[in-house]
């Protein structure tokens, strides 16, 4: 049995643990919590000084029962392990505007001179109270338990770990020695009162990479969840239907703006914390994750599904590249490198992901038997050359075709190409590329009147040579069954992926296509066509479908997600649209598409859409 490349990451993590080994129990129990480690396995110096922390507290952990305020999560499964997560604090964190912890009961109430309004905010007092998610208090001891039984009967994997304010009371455990392709249940409990526990989570391991998978695997794909812009119904609906095996998030899990900067949640009770400033410091990012994890639909999704996630720009700042971002001012906000490090540290603490091998190197592969390889890439922070930061669009357009420009960084470019080749060589049926920004060429000239409005130069269209190098490998190595999963643009697009420098492509039959790209709309972030209005958006998408040969469907108005059903014979993509202005389970299936194994194009005659614009397939 083989678990594939993820075994390397486990080995690296194990080496880091051995490097910190100690006979002191307290030190050992800190080490078992991955949140203390460096996000970077090859650079343990970026982690916390375990020995110093253990000596500081001298086993003086809090013997009170922990508070599991933000639920549980799991992610980055392999065929024999999975990451499980919770936050176990000594007391409830009150971090909404002007809330304080009651001195007489364990609940959050409005500070003096404030009253709670209809949407749950504390208003009316003289000042804002700036909250801090890293509450004071000593380390907390928790026990984790993993079982094949919902009731945690029979064999249970278990262990104890410390957590403390140094890691914002996050708990992350890499649970080893699990069975392949198996559903597990997990929880965290107080060693001092076994009746106090976190909610029970559900997760699963992957099939071993050399095992033929005969059943269908289903995954839901998300991007762009903006707390003040609307409700996270997309997360909750998939959880309530409970049909998928895995969640894939391709970026923009959080947004960095203050309340009112890109959405105002005051009228709906969805105010991002901190509310009075863009997030820059480590504590700011921690608070922002905490405010997002207060959403019940997001909590439920994390609780019952394993997640595989990667960042896009807003996990740091808008339209970012390796050395900066459009929404960063070094004069007022300090060095961009420090802000990026703070963002990465908080992401590592709050998300159920494994250690990265090198700083910022989040790209990785998850093999799911011989059915598919899920290849997660970073088109944003690792090696991206300067992007469109709104003030330089004409310049970026002029250099967009330069051969020395790269979106991924040249080392990641090679890794992606070699990983695709290795996937084919090992006999995986499908290759799913977890990408952030739109890949296929999209010409906006039909609806734009400006010289620089013909393309989105923050997408792969701003890095033409980088895209072509990837397509050349796909073409030359005859890599088939490539499916690209994208987000970022807050609208729905489905493409036959074309070779823009060689193979002839027939838009009617799809012949000449090298793969298919599914681009999903946002969970809640607004449409790029918001200023058009609904009817004009429909006209605009029709014009774009008519003038872009590879574009087979576009829908620019709704929020939602898409879901893939993957078998050896086909991949079926279903798009769902829903309302985000109220909390609801209502949704409609806006479109469905099929890609047959070996075809490398959308199946003609299959497409079913009730929204948006499509070619006459």
Q: Give the model confidence (pLDDT) of 342-387 as tens digits.
A: 999 999 999 999 987 665 689 999 999 999 999 999 999 999 999 9
Q: Is 443 exposed, middle or buried (0-12, 13-18, 19+ CB in 10 A)?
A: middle
In this structure, of 136-140, 203-207, 394-398, 501-505, the range with the lowest mean pLDDT score is 136-140
Q: Which pLDDT belongs to residue 22?
A: 37
* 545 against 138, higher pLDDT: 545
Express each pLDDT in 10-69 by its tens digit: 322 333 333 333 334 555 666 788 898 877 676 676 677 777 776 776 666 667 789 999
Four-residue CA torsion sign, 27, 31, 33, 34: positive
Query: What is the per-residue pLDDT across 288-301, written as a single tens digit (0 to 9) for each?
Result: 999 999 999 999 99
User: pLDDT by residue (tens digit) across 565-593?
Assistant: 999 999 999 999 999 999 999 999 999 99
Claim: this prediction has a pTM higher than 0.85? yes
Q: What is the pLDDT of residue 17?
A: 36
User: Residue 616 — very low, low, confident or very high, per pLDDT cuts 50/70/90?
Assistant: low
Looking at per-residue pLDDT, the higher value among 23 and 497 belongs to 497
Domains along the sequence of the chain with CATH: 6-91+134-204 (2.60.40.380), 217-251+362-614 (3.60.21.70)
Of 331, 281, 321, 352, nearest in space to 87 by CA: 352
Q: What's the pLDDT tens digit per position in 241-259? A: 999 999 999 999 999 999 9
Residue whose structure tokens are 């389970």: 585
- The mean pLDDT value of the chain amounts to 91
- For residues 326 and 92, is the Cβ–Cβ distance under 8 A? no
| Structure confidence at residue 106 as a pLDDT band (50, 70, 90) | confident
Query: How large is the average pLDDT for residues 147-174?
Result: 93
User: Would you list the DSSP string of 486-538?
Assistant: E-SSSSEEEEEEP-TTSS---TTT-TT--EEEEE---SSSPPTTGGG-HHHHH
Over range 505-529, report the average pLDDT: 97
Residue 486: per-residue pLDDT: 99
Angle at which helices 282-292 and 336-350 pack, to 10 degrees? 40
Q: Are strands 320-321 and 324-325 parallel, antiparallel or unpaired?
A: antiparallel
Inter-residue contact 46 to 167 (CB < 8 Å): no
The Cα–Cα gap between 381 and 409 comes to 9
The three-state secondary structure class of 257 is coil
In this prediction, residue 103 carries a pLDDT of 78
Q: Is the pLDDT of residue 196 over 70?
A: yes
**Residue 268 CB contacts under 8 Å (≥ 6 apart), including other chains:** 119, 228, 230, 231
Q: What is the pLDDT of residue 24?
A: 44
C-alpha closest to that of 90 among 201, 196, 199, 185: 196
The pLDDT value recorded for residue 456 is: 97
């Amino acid at each position: 049995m083989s678990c594939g490349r993820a075994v390397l990451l486990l080995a690296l993590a194990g080496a880091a643990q051995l490097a910190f080994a100690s006979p002191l129990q307290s030190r050992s129990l800190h080490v078992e919590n991955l949140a203390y480690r460096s996000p970077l396995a090859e650079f343990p110096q970026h982690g916390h000084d375990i020995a110093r922390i253990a000596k500081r507290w001298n086993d003086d952990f809090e013997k009170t029962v922990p508070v599991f305020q933000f639920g549980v999560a799991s992610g980055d499964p392999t065929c024999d392990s999975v990451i499980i997560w919770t936050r176990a604090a000594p007391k409830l964190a009150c971090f909404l505007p002007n809330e304080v912890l009651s001195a007489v009961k364990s609940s959050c109430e409005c500070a003096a001179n404030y009253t709670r309004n209809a949407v749950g905010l504390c208003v009316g007092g003289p000042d804002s109270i700036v909250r801090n998610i890293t509450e004071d208090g000593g380390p907390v001891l928790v026990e984790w338990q993993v079982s094949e039984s919902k009731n945690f009967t029979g064999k249970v994997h278990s262990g104890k770990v410390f957590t403390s304010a140094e890691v914002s009371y996050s708990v992350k455990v890499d649970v080893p020695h699990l069975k392949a392709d198996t559903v597990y249940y997990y929880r965290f409990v107080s060693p001092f009162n076994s009746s106090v526990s976190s909610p029970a989570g559900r997760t699963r391991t992957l099939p071993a990479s050399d095992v033929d998978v005969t059943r269908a695997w289903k995954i839901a794909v998300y991007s762009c969840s903006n707390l003040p812009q609307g409700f996270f119904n997309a997360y909750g609906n998939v959880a309530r239907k409970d049909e998928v095996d895995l969640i894939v998030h391709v970026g923009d899990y959080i947004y960095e703006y203050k309340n009112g900067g890109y959405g105002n949640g005051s009228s709906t009770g969805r105010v991002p914390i901190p509310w009075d400033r863009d997030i820059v410091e480590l504590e700011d990012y921690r608070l922002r994750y905490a405010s997002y994890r207060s959403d019940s639909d997001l909590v439920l999704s994390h609780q019952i599904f394993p997640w595989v996630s990667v960042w896009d720009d807003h996990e740091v700042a808008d339209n970012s590249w390796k050395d900066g971002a459009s929404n960063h001012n070094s004069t007022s906000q300090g060095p961009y490198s420090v802000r990026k490090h703070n963002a990465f540290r908080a992401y590592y603490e709050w998300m159920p992901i494994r250690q990265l091998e090198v700083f910022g190197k989040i790209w990785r592969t998850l093999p799911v038997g011989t059915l598919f390889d899920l290849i997660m890439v970073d088109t944003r922070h690792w090696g991206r050359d300067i992007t469109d930061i709104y003030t330089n669009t004409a310049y970026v357009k002029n250099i967009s075709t330069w051969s020395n420009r790269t979106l991924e960084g040249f080392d990641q470019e090679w890794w992606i190409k070699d990983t695709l080749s290795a996937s084919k060589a090992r006999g995986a049926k499908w290759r799913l590329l977890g990408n952030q920004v739109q890949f296929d060429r999209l010409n906006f000239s039909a609806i734009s009147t400006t010289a620089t409005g013909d393309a989105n130069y923050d997408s792969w269209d701003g890095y033409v040579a980088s895209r072509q190098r990837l397509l050349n490998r796909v073409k030359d190595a005859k890599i088939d069954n490539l499916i690209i999963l994208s987000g970022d643009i807050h609208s729905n697009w489905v493409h036959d992926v074309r070779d823009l420098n060689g193979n002839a492509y027939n838009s009617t039959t799809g012949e000449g296509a090298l793969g298919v790209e599914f681009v999903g709309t946002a969970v809640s972030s607004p449409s790029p066509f918001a200023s058009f209005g609904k009817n004009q958006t429909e006209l605009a998408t029709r014009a774009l479908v008519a003038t872009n040969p590879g574009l087979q469907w576009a829908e620019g108005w709704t929020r939602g997600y898409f879901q893939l059903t993957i078998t050896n014979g086909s991949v079926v993509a279903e798009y769902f649209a829903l309302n985000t202005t109220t909390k609801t389970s209502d949704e409609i299936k806006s479109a469905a598409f099929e890609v047959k194994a070996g075809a490398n194009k959308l199946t003609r005659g299959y497409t079913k859409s009730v929204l948006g614009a499509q070619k006459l397939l």
